[in-house]
Chain A
């Protein structure tokens, strides 16, 4: 709105624009602002200011708003820190493996099926960006990376190369298996984190941008992994011989690797 005030438009035009403005604002923030009877500070300052702040915590009761002006900053519990530690560690290990699998698959698959080059490159690039995201998070939060790093490096490369040699369908079945496992794993993490955030919110704690961003990051990563799953199925992953055995074998391997990486 500040830009409108500075703008040289006459008052009539101003009004028209102000009338149009609400349709541009997300519904939630608008409805809360209109219905709120508590002294929400954002609403109190300027009720017409259509600033988009979906992250702002609305006090659940007038009493709470009166007593706790600033949300509590409590330290994370041991269980929460344990969870975050193993979550970041296992995610980093998973993305390392995914990057290496695609890296090993790409030359072999592309040599036989050049039309898959853009798809392989697209999936590889996304994995690389996930890997660097989690690398940065692991370093920032001082989490110990998995001790099995060299083992996963060798195993993931062997898996990628081996399935690629078995043909395009097997390579895609490998992607299908890995992404199914990783997708459901990320899903569990998101569920746990949302539960944690909800509990903290109920206790009136400040969640902090750190956790919010983490949930967003994991969600986005999960969506992209599941997109790879779709690509794999579109590219005849189901035609791999023997499909069920191969997929189940790789999935069991993934579960084992996740179990180990969460611990060491």
Chain B
């Protein structure tokens, strides 16, 4: 229980300082990063396999045996890919800030959409191998890391988009974005259309579904609140001390 709890906490949202540099990421050390970095170009050919790690280790100038530093084998490669792609979202400056002033800055919702699409396009080159990855990610030993990584992605997208809601919607927003992203990602693995047009349409439909649901829930909430207030005020007007 303790290691799992520790792992969940260390990767969950902790105080993000602007004055102090972020602590060095404990996930991958220097050697691991070197090997994994060198492995990335081999993924389209060899997939998320031990072979890719081996090629990466050779390219980085390490012995074949050095792949033993990855006890989880190919899953580490998947994890590395997820982390790298998530962190690269912060560099999507064309979405996050419009440089020329004649273009209107995007709304939060359209930033979320654009960033989600940008993240999906990060899988573009390896999408024919992504089903293997999804299978590995769903294995019981890996599923915690995968889910944590998915929620970190949703958190990153909402944060980068400039969303500042800190009530219950913090949770619902992240949950719905995670659902949308995960389902679209699965859809993308079978998409053969030009430029992933079908995936784009699929994602747009998911976003509008979520929006409709949000509007419906919001209206219901408003109606309940209004009725309760009105009822209370009627009772008060009748002279009942409430």
Residues of A participating in the B interface, judged by any CB pair closer than 8 Å: 73-78, 80-82, 84-85, 88, 92, 107-108, 111-112, 135-136, 138-145, 147, 149-150, 165, 206-211
User: Judging by beta carbons under 8 Å apart, are B236 and A76 in contact?
Assistant: no
User: Judging by beta carbons under 8 Å apart, are B167 and A149 in contact?
Assistant: yes
Besides the contacts A139-B165, A145-B167, A210-B18, what 18 more A-B pairs have beta carbons closer than 8 Å?
Answer: A75-B17, A75-B21, A81-B15, A107-B236, A108-B242, A111-B241, A112-B241, A135-B164, A139-B166, A142-B13, A143-B16, A144-B12, A149-B168, A165-B241, A208-B17, A208-B19, A208-B20, A210-B20
The minimal Cβ–Cβ distance linking A78 to chain B, given in whole angstroms, is 7
* Chain A residues with CB below 8 A from B159, complex form: 142
The minimal Cβ–Cβ distance linking A81 to chain B, given in whole angstroms, is 5
Interface residues of B in 3-50 (CB under 8 A from A): 9-10, 12-24
A219 to B168, CA, bound (A): 27
The minimal Cβ–Cβ distance linking B21 to chain A, given in whole angstroms, is 5
A173 to B227, CA, bound (A): 31
The minimal Cβ–Cβ distance linking A51 to chain B, given in whole angstroms, is 23
The minimal Cβ–Cβ distance linking A169 to chain B, given in whole angstroms, is 15
Closest residue of chain B to A167 (Cβ to Cβ) is B241
Closest residue of chain B to A207 (Cβ to Cβ) is B19
A139 to B160, CA, bound (A): 11
The yes or no answer to B187 lying at the interface (CB within 8 A) is no
* Chain A residues with CB below 8 A from B236, complex form: 107, 111
- For chain B, the count of residues having a C-beta within 8 Å of the partner chain is 27
With contacts A135-B166, A149-B168 taken as known, whether A209 is within 8 angstroms of B19 at the C-beta atoms is yes
A108 to B242, CA, bound (A): 6
* Chain A residues with CB below 8 A from B23, complex form: 75-78, 81
Closest residue of chain A to B155 (Cβ to Cβ) is A142
The yes or no answer to B70 lying at the interface (CB within 8 A) is no
A82 to B5, CA, bound (A): 14
The yes or no answer to B170 lying at the interface (CB within 8 A) is yes
A112 to B171, CA, bound (A): 40
A52 to B18, CA, bound (A): 25
Q: When the two chains form the complex, which single residue of B21, B164, B171, B242 contacts A139, counting CB atoms closer than 8 Å?
A: B164
User: Judging by beta carbons under 8 Å apart, are A108 and B15 in contact?
Assistant: no
The minimal Cβ–Cβ distance linking B117 to chain A, given in whole angstroms, is 23
* Chain A residues with CB below 8 A from B15, complex form: 76, 80-81, 84-85, 88, 141-143
User: Judging by beta carbons under 8 Å apart, are A211 and B19 in contact?
Assistant: yes
With contacts A108-B242, A142-B159 taken as known, whether A210 is within 8 angstroms of B21 at the C-beta atoms is no
> 1/0 per position for B168-190, CB-CB distance to A under 8 A?
10110000000000000000000
Q: Which of B9, B16, B17, B236 is most buried by chain A, counting CB atoms within 10 A of its CB?
A: B17
* Chain B residues with CB below 8 A from A149, complex form: 167-168
User: Judging by beta carbons under 8 Å apart, are A144 and B13 in contact?
Assistant: yes
* Chain A residues with CB below 8 A from B24, complex form: 75
The minimal Cβ–Cβ distance linking A93 to chain B, given in whole angstroms, is 10
* Chain B residues with CB below 8 A from A209, complex form: 19
* Chain A residues with CB below 8 A from B13, complex form: 85, 142-144
Q: Which 5 A-B pairs have the closest CB atoms?
A: A208-B19, A84-B15, A139-B164, A142-B16, A210-B19
* Chain B residues with CB below 8 A from A111, complex form: 236, 241
With contacts A111-B236, A149-B167 taken as known, whether A81 is within 8 angstroms of B18 at the C-beta atoms is no
